[in-house]
Amino acid sequence: MVDEIYMNRCLELANLGSGNVSPNPMVGCVIVAGEQIIGEGYHRQYGQAHAEPNAVKAVFDRFGIDADSLLKKATAYVNLEPCAHFGKTPPCADLFVKHQLKKVVIGNTDPFSGVDGKGIEKLKNAGIEVITGVLKAECEYFNRRFFTRIKKQRPYIILKWAETANGYFGTTNGTQKWISGPLAKRLSHKWRTEEDAILVGKNTAMIDNPTLTARNWTGKNPTRLVIDKNLEIPTTHNMFNREAKTIIFNEVKTDVSENIHYIQMEDMHFYLPQKIAFQLYLMDIQSVIIEGGVSILNQFLDANLWDEARIFQSESNWSSGMKAPKINGFLTEAVQIGIDKLNLYANK
């Protein structure tokens, strides 16, 4: 179980980069010599050093002139295959070859065509022992956003809404009425720091006038995505403030005004979820939370274009209102969040 223990540590380290490395994967690296961890690292920020050079640097920082000899006897653990190509940083596989590591243990091979086995091939050709597939399923689930983007050419899509105990989503008279409690709201803001973007439709933007930021949690704001076919939302609304980048999908114009980006689409009443998903893929947006309204959520559900759903259910009952979407997925977990119940679903 030793390999599994160190691979779990890789995932713990990799998670520290959550929200900061997209569209790259989250990667952690642990270097072990003589049953002792001699260096650790993770990918901290997109465009900066990957996990492997950070871990190697940690070895040199700690052991100085003895680092070279230690690395020659060491095993490196990494949850994703070391890259083999020049991107924003040099190939990580070359770094392990340079320092003549004894062995490299890998969770997942990299599905990106620029790597996909090429890093492993470099290591083996240099005489380094390579073991793959350690905690493979766990490592792939951990980087499910990255794997979805590469394999399906679309972002990882999370549906999120709140509903009453008897299945109502909102009012029918166009007024705002809160359903979930304060803890649910705070958790929702935490989620926003973990994903690249958040999407709402015109009606939600008009009625709720949301800010769509992570103001109740420490972390980055997601890119705000709004569907506004005819550009009817007043520019005085919160989504036009400068707190985050905002992208407005519409049929009128393509333009940029400071942090507001307008993207024109044709025939938005046809295949809208598919068009948005592909556009986000082209923009390197790796994950998106869709928060409403009902029409937008149902369109993505009907297109079967979603990966997980997070549904808060309150204890309250309404006598009337707009019915919540019906989810057709696999219930993975149900937990109590303050006064609300949170049901988590995965797409079958």
The answer to whether 10 is annotated as binding is: no
The answer to whether 204 is annotated as binding is: yes
- Check whether 75 has a pLDDT greater than 90: yes
What is the overall mean pLDDT for the chain?
Answer: 95
The per-residue pLDDT for range 275-309, each reduced to its tens digit, is: 999 999 999 999 999 998 899 999 999 999 999 99
The per-residue pLDDT for range 190-228, each reduced to its tens digit, is: 999 999 999 999 999 999 999 999 999 999 999 999 999
Spatial contact of 305 and 313, defined as CB atoms under 8 Å apart: no
What is the token pair recorded at 231?
């550009």
The answer to whether 92 is annotated as binding is: yes
Give residue 139's pLDDT band: very low, low, confident or very high (50, 70, 90). Answer: very high
Angle, in degrees to the nearest 10, between helices 2-14 and 51-63: 100
Spatial contact of 229 and 222, defined as CB atoms under 8 Å apart: no
List the beta bridge partners of residue 76.
Answer: 31, 104
Residues annotated as catalytic are 52
Walk me through the domains of the chain, giving residue ranges and CATH numbers. Answer: 1-149 (3.40.140.10), 154-346 (3.40.430.10)
The answer to whether 208 is annotated as binding is: yes
Span of 45-49, 82-86, 245-249, 325-329 with lowest mean pLDDT: 82-86
What is the token pair recorded at 79?
């949850």
The answer to whether 243 is annotated as binding is: no
